[in-house]
Structures are given as structure tokens and as C-alpha cells.
Amino acid sequence: MGASSALRAEDWRILIRLVGECRELGDEPHTWRAHFARQVGRRIGGDLCYFGELAGCDIQKPKDLGVTEWGWDAGFDRASWLAMLRDLHDKASVPITVLTYLEKLREENGVCLARSDVLTEREWARSDDARISEAIGTDHAVFCFRSIPGVAGVHSALQFHREANRRDFSRRDAAFVRESHAALIALVGGPLARFNEPSSRDLPVRVRRVLACLLEGDGDKQIAVRLGLSAHTVNEYTKAIFRHFLVRSRPELLARWIRRGHALPPAWVED
């Protein structure tokens, strides 16, 4: 990586706006991560992103707890990637680039490094990782993992990749990834939902609409009239919502939303 790592005023404005946008989408774990990946990818020229949670990074045995992928629709070969992941899993092997990065992570939580900072070109050319990247259609990458506050042994893991034959990521690119990731991490598990939490988008569209009405304080009759449903249907949908979010009442449901700092009205109502 070359050039200065100093962020400019415009970078900080983009970053602050992005954090606010992610908060508005925060009750659905894949949605806020996909939005983050898309916006940061556009800012740094990243073509493909993996943004998830990993356990076991501290012992160099990373275990996937969930991941959001962005960029495959640009023409990369996801089938080859999945096949090679299965092969690595069968061999109980971890990509050498990730393993070497995890050694650096022990020294500095949240360190953001390009692939070229982790392996020499000679090491890269000899690695299975290079063959995987070639099959997918990528080359340069940047890695930024950061421990999730209050969650022992779990890291938020962020990777951006560039299409083959493009230049390496700059130090300013890496700085933007590092600072934007750092700005989000304190919100993960609060306004920004983790993968192990119930998702609003897992509910059918009609049930989500009832949920939105409940969060706005509507009673059964109001919801029935507003959505053109019977009172019985509203009651059944409400019970399904309570089961989904592990709550027992409307006040408890609303308190959960307010306590977590999720946006009202929810961003997913019209999806």
C-alpha cells in the first residue's frame, strides 16, 4: 500500500453519515452489514466483501458465526469459492492469509492490513489462497477484524477484495475501513443486531406490517382497520411476533426496541 493514510474531511462526513444509516437498518443483521459493505466498497473501490462474526480468532481457529456477502453480482465465481471452502473445511485448514493476519491481530485489535502487508508476493504466489482468488476473479484484499465489546472471544470480521488486475488498496483506503469499522463496533449487539438475534425480515411481509403498527402503538382494532385484516388474524400475527422476539407483551416488545435503540418506524416496513 502507498500514499498517505490520513483521512480527509469528506471521508469523515461520509463515515458519520454511514453510521447513522446503519443504525436505521440496525434491527436486521444482514441488512445493515450489506449497506455498510456497499457504501464502504464504493468509497474505497472494493468489489467484493465478506462481513461477519468469527469465534476463535485468538487461538487461530476461526469459526464462522454468520456472514453477509456483497458483490457477487459483479460477475465473480461464487461456486468456485464455495467448492474451495468445502475443501478447506474437509482438510480442517484455514487460509494462510487469514492465519497470518490473525497473528498481527494479537498485537493490535482492529488492525487493518492489505494482503500485500500480510504475505510477500512470493508467499502469496505459492499459496492456496492465490489459487482461490484466481478462481473467483479477485486479487488484492484488505482485512480488518475487531473484537466485539462485551462478547468474549468473538470478532467482527471485515474483508474487502478487488477484481484481478486492479491496483492494491491504498493506506487511505485501509484507514477508512479501519475507522468506519471502529465507529460501528460499539453499536454491535445494541442498535446493530448480531447474527444470533431474531430478525424482523424472517417474518412474512404481512406479519412485519403488523409489527410496525404495534411499534407505533396501535391497538388490535386500529391495526385491523389500517391493514384490512380481521381482529383474529391480527391477534394470531401478534402472537407469532411475540414468539419470534421472545417477549410476552406489547410493552415488552416496545421496550426491547427502545432499549436497543432501533429506528422507529422500522426501515423494512415497505420491503
Cell numbers placing 25: 437498518
For residue 97, give the nearest of 119, 69, 67 by alpha carbon. 119
Q: What architecture (CATH level 2) is domain 9-185?
A: 2-Layer Sandwich (3.30)
CATH class of the domain comprising 200-260:
mainly alpha
Question: What per-residue string of b and e applies to 54-93 under the rule 16 or more CB within 10 Å gives b?
Answer: bbbbeeeebeebebbbbbeeeebeeeebeebeeeeeeeee
> At residue 100, what are phi and psi to the nearest 5 degrees?
-65, -40
Question: What per-residue string of b and e applies to 4-32 under the rule 16 or more CB within 10 Å gives b?
Answer: eeebeeebeebbeebbeebbbbbbbbbbb
Q: Are 226 and 219 in contact (CB under 8 A)?
A: no
More confident residue, 157 or 270: 157
The 10s digit of each residue's pLDDT in 228-269 is 999 999 999 999 999 999 999 999 998 888 888 877 767 666
Q: Which pLDDT value is given to residue 110? A: 97
Give the residue extent of every domain in the chain: 9-185, 200-260
The 10s digit of each residue's pLDDT in 2-21 is 556 889 999 999 999 999 99
Fold matches, 9-185 and 200-260: no
Instruction: Decide if pLDDT at 176 tops 90.
Output: yes
For residue 111, give the nearest of 140, 142, 145, 141 by alpha carbon. 145
pTM: 0.87
